[in-house]
Amino acid sequence: MSGQAKHTPGPWFPQEVAYAPYRKLSVRCGRGQVALIQALETEEDEANARLIAAAPDLLAACRLTLGAINDLLAAQLEYPDPSPSLVQLAAIRSIEPARAAIAQAEGRGRS
């Protein structure tokens, strides 16, 4: 599998659809439906639909952040500082979760 996910490109957006007797939430994009969620009339269902709809943007943000962290760590190797800054420590702590999230989205991690 390549480094890029083979998902439907964003943007995605949640939309309520009527399927009697149930309420369903659809996650859609310009090309059609991406997901259909059977809802139980709860705010949690709507929040889940919004989270699913945000997935392409979240993946892009993770990739961008991971690139910035890698650049920061590479600069640290080139110009070592005997006392790492809080930014560098935060970068080190966040790099593995970002890598794991990207791998999962690309089908290389846990599902």
DSSP letters along 50-68, please?
HHHHHHHHHHHHHHHHHHH
In angstroms, the CA 96 to CA 101 distance is 9
Instruction: State the pTM of this model.
Output: 0.70
Work out the angle between the directed axes of helices 86-105 and 43-78 (0-180°, nearest 10).
Answer: 130
Would you give per-residue pLDDT tens digits along the chain (111 residues)?
Answer: 345 658 888 888 888 887 666 778 888 888 888 888 887 777 888 888 888 888 888 888 888 888 888 887 787 777 777 666 777 777 777 888 888 888 877 777 654
* pLDDT given at position 98: 83
The H or E element spanning position 96 is: helix 86-105
The dihedral formed by the CA atoms of 56, 92, 76 and 72, expressed in degrees to the nearest 10 = 20
Amino acid type, 79 = Y
* pLDDT given at position 20: 64
* pLDDT given at position 70: 82
Phi, psi of 36, deg, nearest 5:
-130, 125
Cβ atoms < 10 Å from Cβ of 27: 22
* pLDDT given at position 2: 47
The answer to whether the beta carbons of residues 29 and 10 sit under 8 Å apart is: yes
* pLDDT given at position 110: 59
